[in-house]
Chain A
Amino acid sequence: MKRILIILQKEFIQIFRNKTILPIIFVLPIVQLLILANAATQEMKSIRLAIVDSDHSPESRSLINAFSHSKFYTHIPVEGGVNVSIEQIDFGKADAVILIPKGFGEYLIEGTPVNVQLMLNAINITSAALTHSYTSGIIQNFASSIGMETINVTSSKPSIRHWYNPELNYKLYMVPGILVVLVTIVGMFLTAINIVREKELGTIEQVNVTPIKPYQFIVGKLVPFWIIALIELSFGLIIAKIVFNLTIVGSIPLLFGFAALYLIVALGLGLILSTSASNQQQVMFMVFFFMIVFLMLSGLFTPTESMPQWAVLFNKINPLYYFMKVNRMLILKGSEFSNLWDSFVAISIIALLTIFVAIKRYHKSV
């Protein structure tokens, strides 16, 4: 224990003396959150909508008003019929066209089901799907506001409600994911580089010639970066709160509890990689390689459920997948431990394995 404390003391002196690491630790989360969360957004803003009103009734006008009042739409006035409005899509002037049929108002008054047609520019599938869902939502709202359940959007789907992120604010969805990436980068890179640096300088040899036990060395090396990564997470959450007004719905102790377990894996991996590398370039490439694979499959950008079977299986051992999932569930949804315990069990097993391998891989003599 005393030996571990001695290593901690030395590591912290070195970290605080390092002129580059400390600023990076605090600048990184700000830059990453601000740039990535804004750049990676898939949120729809100012959908250019053309409405062809063939009815000119008070009812059709109030439907048009419903769209004019929404901040997501820019209304494009159309003179002429259906063909003119389709041209608007062809020329790239409109993203969506709504056709209100003749007799729309009368049908509504009679209480007869009526169809409204929605045409979408689907070059970008994601934005088309989002536009479809926004637009259907507004039409449904209009219908229920006048006490009708009778307007169908052609090829419409069952009424959709987006829970936990009602406005489909993409930033809120991205921020927990980016925090995962951030904490992983800081933890894994710093650990891996720190140990390889001792190898390069030869200082590790002076340590290996002492009677220190491998577990003491490893714990002493991991704890400082474990603490730094947890501080990094808190710092990131504070920035997310200030900049994006992201509120953690779930339990904060649970969030940090999971992060603490996850970091054992991330840092342990960094350590294992550093035992296989002899210089900093090598270890950087290795860490980068593993990061990209884990990250792409983790569900940061795309839902893991729709990935092929092998990827779903791989994610069972992907630490980033668990942290990504738990982080979003806790921050956005406020899940209870009863819904997360399986992820806790999985990450604990992975953590134990990682530490075991790391200690086994660390040899004092070659």
Chain B
Amino acid sequence: MKRVIEVENLVKQFGNFTAVNNLTFSVAKGEIFGLLGANGAGKTTTIRMLCGLLLPTSGKITVAGYDAFTQPEQIRASIGYMSQKFSLYSDLTVWENIRFFGGIYGLWGRELKLRTSELVDEFKMNEFRDVMVESLPLGWRQRVSLAVSMVHKPPIIFLDEPTSGVDPIARRMFWETIHHISLQGTTVMVTTHYMDEAEYCHTLLIMVDGMIQALGKPDELKSKHAVESMNELFLSLARNSNANMM
């Protein structure tokens, strides 16, 4: 299988604090790759480095075949990113937000208009298309964010805690969309701290204190650690980490 993301010995330090400690992993094309961990485990830092928002302290990153240090602009053109914090323009409508980001990614004129209405249809947002984003419920805002991250049809999208704070029904819908995107061949890297969501991922990387604690397919990980559910797996790994710390 073709590897679209490769990370080797990735380190990020903020002063004396090591947020990401020597990560090495790769992601295959079309995969839903889940990055799990408690708050402060280094998930967001990792994803921000992969997107070119944060410069790594050391290590090697290749995304879509481009090197993060020498070809950051090529990487930016091939990825979509949905931030943990809602970061669309709340004083613009759904339509205007999608159109703006489409334009920034280089679409123009008819092409831009077509792509915008295509996304509005695809995400079933027709009744909201002229509504200001600020007056949408959170679940819908997250859908708009996802649509925006896909406006330039990127081969890879990064979703940083896309479902935090969203109600269970909206979460369910959101994951159906992610599944759908992955079936079309788009690689999805997603961070979460909901363990039920971890089951939907093809590959999981569980981070504890900036390090890899477990990496593999959900079923493999469960049988390897002899646990029934992701929740148990996560708790046992976290407990080990606490024991190590003591």
On A, residues with C-beta under 8 Å from B are 2-3, 5-7, 9-10, 13-14, 17-18, 201-203, 205-212, 364-366
Contacts and interface: CB of A to CB of B under 8 A. Distances in A.
Nearest to B55: A365
Given A202-B83, A203-B87, A366 B77 contact: no
Contacts of A207: 104
Given A3-B103, A6-B104, A10-B100, A209 B52 contact: yes
B89 interface: yes
B89 A203 contact: yes
Interface of B: 51-55, 72-74, 76-77, 79, 81, 83, 85-92, 96, 99-101, 103-106, 108, 148
Given A6-B104, A10-B96, A13-B96, A205 B83 contact: yes
A212 B88 CA distance: 16
A262 to B, nearest CB: 30
Given A205-B83, A206-B101, A210-B104, 13 more contacts: A2-B103, A3-B103, A6-B99, A6-B100, A203-B89, A209-B51, A209-B81, A211-B76, A364-B53, A365-B53, A365-B54, A366-B53, A366-B55
**Which of A3, A18, A202, A211 has the most chain B CB within a 10 Å cutoff?**
A211
B88 A203 contact: yes
A211 B51 contact: no
Interface majority SS on A: helix, strand, loop or mixed? helix
7 contacts: A3-B104, A13-B92, A202-B85, A364-B76, A365-B52, A366-B54, A366-B55
A211 B51 CA distance: 11
A202 B91 CA distance: 14
Contacts of A14: 89, 91-92
Contacts of A18: 91
A209 B79 contact: yes
Contact of B87 (A13, A201, A365): A201
A10 B53 contact: no
A193 B148 CA distance: 25
Contacts of A205: 53, 83, 87
Contacts of B81: 206, 209
A209 B51 CA distance: 7
Contact of A6 (B52, B53, B79, B103): B103
Given A10-B96, A13-B92, A211-B76, A206 B103 contact: no
Contacts of B106: 2-3, 211
B53 A211 contact: no
Report, nearest first, the 6 A-B pairs whose CB atoms are least far apart.
Answer: A6-B103, A202-B87, A211-B76, A209-B81, A211-B77, A206-B87
Nearest to A213: B73
Nearest to A220: B104
A320 to B, nearest CB: 32
A211 B77 CA distance: 5
Contact of A212 (B89, B104, B108): B104
Contacts of A13: 92, 96
Nearest to B151: A210
B112 to A, nearest CB: 8
B2 to A, nearest CB: 22
A209 B90 contact: no
A94 to B, nearest CB: 62
Contacts of A365: 52-55, 72
Contacts of A201: 87, 90
Contacts of A6: 99-100, 103-104
B178 to A, nearest CB: 19
A241 to B, nearest CB: 36
Nearest to A14: B91
A144 B83 CA distance: 82
A72 B39 CA distance: 77
Contacts of B89: 10, 14, 203
Nearest to B80: A209
Contacts of A17: 91
A245 to B, nearest CB: 41
B118 to A, nearest CB: 18
**Which of A2, A6, A207, A209 has the most chain B CB within a 10 Å cutoff?**
A209
Contacts of B104: 3, 6-7, 207, 210, 212
Nearest to A216: B104
A14 B52 CA distance: 28
Contacts of A7: 104
A3 B91 CA distance: 20
A206 B88 contact: yes
Nearest to B96: A13
Contacts of A5: 103
A211 B89 CA distance: 19
